[in-house]
């Protein structure tokens, strides 16, 4: 009887663990992030993250998306002043996006960091919360 109960508990715990792990996958975050990108970022950075020459820098294949703290700072504080991306100068202002929740910020960063040839480790909402401080 004890053995049956223990095996049942182990089985239930395994099912819950697998369900929990699948609920928060990078793939799902990227899918949600695409929606955030399309409504918030695409008008400047374009459909494929190619940017708009002379105005808005590309996000695709830039090699500039590794610093999570910098990316969070840009999302919540904006960016102004000249920057150089892929050998080209850009000097347009990016307005801050303080309305994004930690989840939305994580999702959009996961999308940008894992699209158009970019590869980046998953960013979790808890990391966003810590980096905003």
Indicate the pTM of the whole model.
0.81
Each residue's pLDDT tens digit, 66-78 = 999 999 999 999 9
105 pLDDT higher than 70:
yes
Q: Who contacts 109 (Cβ-Cβ below 8 Å, separation ≥6)?
A: 33, 68, 71, 72, 75, 120, 123, 128
60 pLDDT higher than 70:
yes
CB 49 within 8 A of CB 82: no
pLDDT greater at residue 3 or residue 131: 131
Each residue's pLDDT tens digit, 32-49 = 999 999 999 999 999 999
User: How high is the pLDDT of residue 17?
Assistant: 42
1 pLDDT higher than 80:
no
State the pLDDT confidence band at 2, using cuts at 50, 70 and 90: low
19 pLDDT higher than 70:
no
Please name each of the domains of the chain with its CATH number.
26-132 (1.10.760.10)
Write down the H helix ranges in 24-50: 26-40, 42-45
């Amino acid at each position: 009887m004890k053995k049956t109960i223990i095996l049942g508990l182990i089985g239930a715990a395994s099912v819950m663990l697998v369900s929990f792990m699948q609920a928060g996958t990078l793939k799902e975050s990227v899918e949600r992030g695409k929606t955030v990108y399309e409504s918030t970022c695409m008008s400047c950075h374009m459909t494929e993250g190619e940017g708009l020459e002379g105005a808005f820098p590309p996000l695709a294949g830039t090699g500039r998306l590794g610093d999570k703290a910098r990316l969070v700072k840009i999302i919540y504080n904006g960016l102004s002043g000249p920057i150089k991306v892929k050998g080209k100068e850009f000097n347009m202002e990016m307005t801050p996006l303080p309305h994004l929740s930690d989840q939305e910020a994580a999702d959009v960063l996961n999308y940008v960091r894992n699209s158009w040839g970019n590869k980046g480790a998953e960013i979790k909402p808890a990391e966003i919360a810590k980096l905003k401080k």
